[in-house]
Structure 1
């Protein structure tokens, strides 16, 4: 059986969204039909109609590969019209390739993960460099084939993308799809945060919502595109210095009227601790502060003096009491 992630990729490819992984999945499917000796098409329209009928019978009967079984169940759910469109697309692509060598693709992906407090650097096949922040992961193909260079991010990363206008670079994260041709930018998109954003240092970046492609923005250096949970649109704004968005690479922290809920999450990722907040009202307070190579104790001491809260460190847990003054 194929995974839910492969099912999603195949659906997107069959709906017209090209990707190397989608093409490889489709080719596996087509090859299973190509190797079926009961199907021997020619170049005639009659042959095309025959193949369509044969494919439909096989899909309905669920007699071919696990990918065909996937397509059958999806087609039945989507309705007869979608199923016929799927069959026509498969038959056309397959017959167009008849009597030609069938390329063999091996879907080869690698995943790099970091724990809280860790950083990692990844160099992709094309020379693109990716710097992962703590509690993040990057899934990427070992070979950057196809029309796009497509990677998948959970958390935060800074990208220095090798310029290639013929093969755009796409970063898919929890809430955003980010497309560039060669630039430097930061993607901050943790699943547990209420806000995600992309900030550009050099070049030009297109950003769209993962589940609403009508909402998008095109941003330039010192601009950011912001996603807020619960909103159906992206917001674009200017920033004073985009380099602050990647200050985490040098163990620097900037809080500019940051809500304390987000402050604690950032500190958890940086110092590999967990916070227990006794008074939930504290999470709605805001804080202005900046640090460079500061210890956790130094950060908490400033928080105590400026906000009036109290803290207690027990191993990897920090207990916070009080309310901001």
Structure 2
């Protein structure tokens, strides 16, 4: 059996027992999901194979004999081209007499019908923005962060903005923002905290929508294989528009959300997120925790940051055990939060970030 990296046809996936097990039972014993996410071009082929496997549950008597014959002929055309002469002709006849091949015929017919609907009403939109950007030759200047881990990852942008990238998500962004706009591209889910710069607005392109901000914090959920895109605002204000549909822009304020239905290209504005079970149940720690501190121990502030950003903060516990702060850190990216904390503690306090680890160095509070 060929290595999966060589799979180029749907038949390759259908013949792979490990792939069939993953699709039927959702037990990903061989890392299929991670392998698929590594290269976006694989996703479409995997989706085609998935649709064909799902079609196996359709009763055969729903199809006419003519449909089955046509499907069978198309299915094995490639096999006939790869083999030679009479041996292959005999093999096709033998295969046709097996129930497995008849089921493949069913798969193909219903797979093609499903694939037609998928390509015309779903796939074109699913792969419209992110994949086009990262595969564009002009995208050489973009960096890509892929989170294949099981916990969120912090991405710090050149303007000081921070992005909390959720598992199975990807973010493409320039090493340095140039021009009059700041543009990034998301596939998956992320929480954004944007540095304020009214002269240089920030745009997040996610599937078919674009979210414009100046300085605020918000979450976008835009997975390629999901039917909806969601935007939820924690602080500030954002404007959401469609990349393709002729829709008026939607303005969202704190604790408001928007659901974009990709099939119909329509917006659903949610002014009270507590009344929407899907959105309210998906709220993360960073969206719930307060960053308003009044005479609070530094150690507790660092604990709040750990909970919000899924990071580890290493600081001199004994040195800072008597340090208390009163400060407002809301609507600030993580690097700015850390700068404010360090400055409030004392001029001899600094921080460094290495992935999801933050190290604080300090000789104590100013007032000690």
Query: Over alpha carbons, which structure has the higher Rg?
Result: 2
* TM-score range relative to shorter protein: 0.3 to 0.5
Q: Could you state the TM-score of these two structures normalised by the residue count of structure 1?
A: 0.42
Which has more strand, going by share of residues? 1
TM-score, normalised with respect to structure 2: 0.37
